[in-house]
Amino acid sequence: MPVPLPPDEKPREDSPRRAHEKAVARLRESYRAIPASEPVRLAKPTSNLFRPRDPRRGAGLDVSGFDRVLSVDPAARVAEVQGMVTYEDLVDATLPHGVVPPVVLDFRTITVGGSVAGLGAESSSFRAGLPHDPVLELEVLTGDGRVVTASRDNEHAALFHGFPHSFGSLGYALRVRLRLDPARPYVRLRHLRLGSAAEWTEVMSRVAAEGAFESTPVDYLDGVAFSPSELYLTLGTLADVAPRVSDYTRSRAYYRSIRERPEDFLTLRDYLWRWDTDMFWAARYFGLERPLIRRAWPRRLRRSDVYRRLLFFDRRLGLTDRANRLRGRRFEWVIQDADVPAEAVPDFLEFFDREIGIRPVWLCPMLTRTPMTIYPMDPGRLYVSAGFWWKVELRPGQEPGHHDRLIERRITELGGLKPLYSTAYYSEEEFWRLYNGEGFRELKAAYDPGGRLPSTFDKTVRGR
């Protein structure tokens, strides 16, 4: 079992830390070699963003040497990983030691560094927070070419709090040191059916505050709204034994079981990836809920990263758009999350049904305990991330982006924030008002005064 080295111990030539130091040195040389006038981007094989990007967006920075788990210390419950390690690899490294990251995002190929820079929520987020909350230390290649170590209380604390939701506009995470939680082999699920968004919100808020339901601890908490009168709250409890175990990588999609099975059991590993196999419910776009197609589709390819590549291939070539135009129809892809205060969920869903009409909607309670500079959620306040990913027909006179713009306005009216992993339409003035432009400019002046890295507005709205 690899363990962290004491800070004053010189690493052996063949140690993971020594290999990391060599990778850092190579990366700094690569960064210095890029002309100062040329924008910089990461050259990596996968992405979990759902927004178009300018193909001329700059030189690719090779980070292929930053995909290792450096150490797992189950006694201290701490892991040290490189920034490009995926959650799948991190979970596979920690579970054999009986520990697991406190927050594991829903898609396997999301990287640890990317999750801190881009945020996200999962069913542990009502208690464990967002991906940056378990982080103890970040090693960052900053825009001015330095490699600095940031923590909550050192000289780079401002960067530590400004890194979440920065999307690489301040620098790139090279190494992350994070806390781990105890793991158990199974998760017992209870799917509670509730008759309205108001009822769902009331029960969810009580469970989140108490961390239990009917005297049983709740470790994981999320929900699905199938219709205005059919919503489910899923309670997950870690368990040492299970009378049976379901497997949703085979003939059935997990989300359908929510309506069919009041109680269910999964291995912890399968629970963590329960949404990945069908990318929530987006795999139905490829016919994967039809038994014949599902049986023919190789199990190893039932993964979110495969579906995402297929979706972008279709969108890039415009195959579906052309077919729809021949039928006289136009559609807008609405692939978004809305992070709204918990008490605003009924109002948001009422608006959403009236103006958008996509169902199902994923509902994930969440909070943060660590202040963030450029994603200004109130620490300790309960929010709900509402996720919806499907196409909506455009009526005559409606321009592309019509529905996304409506959603953006409603999120702001309800005191929420929009995660920026997908298409955004904010004006520059509104963007900086919502995402603390003053705080961002201070960080930029300290860590990228030359502006080598595009701003968060340029990255997330202009697609640079």
pLDDT, tens digit, 9 for 90 and up, residues 273-316: 999 999 999 889 888 888 889 989 988 888 888 888 887 777 77
Say which range, 44-48, 72-76, 119-123, 416-420, has the weakest mean pLDDT: 44-48
Higher pLDDT, 13 or 369: 369
**Cα radius of gyration (the chain):** 22
Residue type, 92: D
> pLDDT-based confidence at 2, cuts 50/70/90?
very low
Only one residue has tokens 């450029």, namely: 374
Higher pLDDT, 63 or 435: 435
Name the percent of the chain in helix, strand, coil, to the closest 5: 35, 25, 40
Rounded to an integer, what distance in angstroms lies between the CA atom of residue 311 and that of residue 384?
Answer: 27
Checking if the pLDDT of 378 tops 70, the result is yes
Higher pLDDT, 51 or 357: 357
User: Per the structure block, which two tokens stand in for 1?
Assistant: 């079992």
Return the ∠ at Cα 256 (arms to 255 and 262), rounded to 5°. 95
Comparing C-alpha atoms, which of 432, 368, 464 is closest to residue 161?
368
- Percent of the chain, pLDDT > 90? 75
**Which span out of 150-164, 281-295, 303-317, 450-464 was modeled with the highest average pLDDT?**
150-164
In three-state form (DSSP H/G/I as H, E/B as E, the rest C), the secondary structure along 374-398 is CCCCCCCCCEEEEEEEEEEECCCCC
User: Per the structure block, which two tokens stand in for 173?
Assistant: 């995470």
Per-residue pLDDT averaged across 257-281, rounded?
96
> pLDDT-based confidence at 7, cuts 50/70/90?
very low
Comparing C-alpha atoms, which of 309, 209, 185, 191 is closest to residue 255?
191
Checking if the pLDDT of 203 tops 90, the result is yes
17, 70 in Cβ contact below 8 A? yes
Omega before 291 within 30 of 0, i.e. cis? no
> pLDDT-based confidence at 317, cuts 50/70/90?
confident
Comparing C-alpha atoms, which of 76, 116, 104 is closest to residue 220?
104
Residue type, 332: E
Question: Domain locations in the chain?
Answer: 16-182, 186-274
pLDDT, tens digit, 9 for 90 and up, residues 32-53: 888 887 877 776 555 555 445 5
User: Per the structure block, which two tokens stand in for 349?
Assistant: 């869903």
CATH of domain 16-182: 3.30.465.10
Identify the pLDDT of residue 272: 98
Identify the pLDDT of residue 4: 45
Rounded to an integer, what distance in angstroms lies between the CA atom of residue 320 and that of residue 322?
Answer: 5
Checking if the pLDDT of 94 tops 80, the result is yes
407 CB burial (10 A radius; 0-12, 13-18, 19+):
buried
Identify the pLDDT of residue 357: 95
Identify the pLDDT of residue 205: 98
User: Per the structure block, which two tokens stand in for 343?
Assistant: 């008490």
Sorted by sequence, the CB contacts under 8 Å of residue 454 that are 6+ apart come out as 39, 57, 169, 462, 464
Element containing residue 233 per DSSP (H, E): strand 230-239
> pLDDT-based confidence at 225, cuts 50/70/90?
very high
